[in-house]
Amino acid sequence: MTSFLNEIVDSNSGLFISGQPGTGSGKEFPLINPANGQTLGILAEASADDVDKAVESARQAWTDSWWATDTERRIATLRKLAEVVEAKADDIAYLDAIEAGKVVNESLSEDVPDVVANLRFFANLVEQAEGRFLQGADGWGWVEQIPVGVVGCVLPWNYPIAMLGWKVAPALAAGNALVIKPSEESTLSALYFARLAIEAGVPEGIVNVISGQGAVTGQALGLHNEVD
């Protein structure tokens, strides 16, 4: 996993947009190991323009790919993603340990299994959501759940991978495309998760990650008119 960290730092790849790592065009911010105060590396945060690119990527992928329309394939892909995350538990725990000060054993026994469980739970839930009838004096209707489009996910610094799972699993299962902004204090596991999503077969552009401060990157995402 040190190779992943070195790759991110050496190439200043704090963004993951359209299935590819990238470099922010905003101000630099440090990745700090809270256990010893060591600076792990420096990344450039996503500017408002970078946020535009991430949202545009999500919108295009949601519109052009099969993700929102092929429910069976989406369910199968989410189950595959759960398997991939489970297999990479050691790597994820390491990243959360060096950047957020998480205890590795706690991540392995609670946090990563929680992500796996959420992915499987919401995949199962979507599989059972076939819609329902509503009937009244004026007739009847059929109610079906549909994805809203582009979802912005803003994560806190603590429990980085677990809280990512709480937001990402239901949003993905519903068929949405995502722009994820992890905390600037715990960025690495979100960037790694985005790569695992591609490995599992999630279409490029469905899972995008932007790194940076809340007052800049987070505000641009939260106020973006194209985030549904």
CB 199, CB 9: distance < 8 Å: no
Residue 142, in any domain of the structure: no
The long-range contacts involving 83-89, CB below 8 angstroms and separated by at least 24 positions, are 83/200, 84/196, 84/199, 84/200, 85/112, 85/115, 85/116, 85/119, 85/193, 85/196, 86/112, 86/113, 86/116, 88/192, 88/196, 89/113
pLDDT at 194: 98
Among residues of the chain, what percentage have pLDDT more than 90?
Answer: 89
Per-residue three-class SS string for 72-131:
HHHHHHHHHHHHHHHHCHHHHHHHHHHHHCCCHHHHHHHHHHHHHHHHHHHHHHHHHCCC
| 227 within a domain of the structure (yes/no) | no
154 pLDDT higher than 80: yes
Contact 13, 50 (CB under 8 A): no
Per-residue pLDDT, 145: 79
Q: To which residue do tokens 């806190």 refer? A: 156
Mean per-residue pLDDT of the chain? 95
The answer as to whether 190 is a domain residue is yes
Query: What kind and span of H or E run contains 160?
Result: helix 160-173
Please give the Cα distance from 174 to 10 (Å, whole number).
Answer: 36
Tokens found for residue 193: 């998760």
Token digits of residue 83: 């398997």
**What is the count of structural domains for the chain?**
1
Position 26 confidence tier, pLDDT thresholds 50, 70, 90 = very high
Strands 150-154 and 139-143: unpaired
Q: What confidence tens digit (pLDDT) does each residue in 83-130 have?
A: 999 999 999 999 999 999 999 999 999 999 999 999 999 999 998 877
**In this structure, what CATH number is given to the domain that contains residue 40?**
3.40.605.10
Indicate whether 72 belongs to any domain: yes
Tell me, what DSSP letter sits at residue 153?
E
**What does the pLDDT read at residue 94?**
96
Nearest Cα to Cα of residue 155 among 121, 126, 129, 189: 189
- Give dist(CA 211, CA 13) in Å, integer: 9
> Does residue 112 lie within any of the structural domains?
yes
Residue 139 falls inside a structural domain: no
Alpha-carbon distance 81 to 222, whole Å? Answer: 27
Give residue-wise pLDDT tens across range 50-80: 999 999 999 999 999 999 999 999 999 999 9
Residue 27 burial (CB count, 10 A): 11
Q: Which residue is listed with tokens 């949601």?
A: 62
Residue 138 lies in a domain: no
The boundaries of the domain holding residue 104 are 2-128+147-222
In a domain, 136, yes or no: no
